[in-house]
Amino acid sequence: MELGSLKVGSYIIIDNEPCRIVSYDHSKPGKHGSAKARISAIGVFDGSKHSMVSPVSANVDVPLIDKRSGQIISISGQSLQIMDLETFEVFETDADVDEMKDKIRQGGEVEYWKVLERIKVVRAKG
18-77 tens-digit pLDDT? 999 999 998 888 887 889 999 999 999 889 999 999 999 999 999 999 999 999 998 888
CATH of the domain at 88: 2.40.50.140
* Domain coverage including residue 44: 3-55
Both 97 and 49 in a single domain? Answer: no
**Is residue 61 one of the residues assigned to a domain?**
no
Both 29 and 48 in a single domain? Answer: yes
Both 17 and 46 in a single domain? Answer: yes
The arithmetic mean of pLDDT across residues 102-108, rounded, is 83
Q: Give the total number of structural domains in the chain.
A: 2
pLDDT for the residue numbered 97: 64
User: Are the C-beta atoms of residues 31 and 22 closer than 8 Å to each other?
Assistant: no
User: Are the C-beta atoms of residues 34 and 81 closer than 8 Å to each other?
Assistant: no
Both 30 and 72 in a single domain? Answer: no
- Sheet architecture: strand order including 79-84: 90-94, 79-84, 66-76, 109-115, 118-124
Helix, strand or coil for residue 74? strand
How far lies 124's CA from each of 57, 100, 102, 118, in Å?
A: 39, 7, 10, 18
Closest CA to 18 of 66, 85, 83, 54: 66
- With a threshold of 0.95, does the pTM exceed it? no
Tell me which amino acid residue 9 is: G
**Is residue 79 one of the residues assigned to a domain?**
yes
Both 48 and 73 in a single domain? Answer: no
Name the more confident of 102 and 41: 41
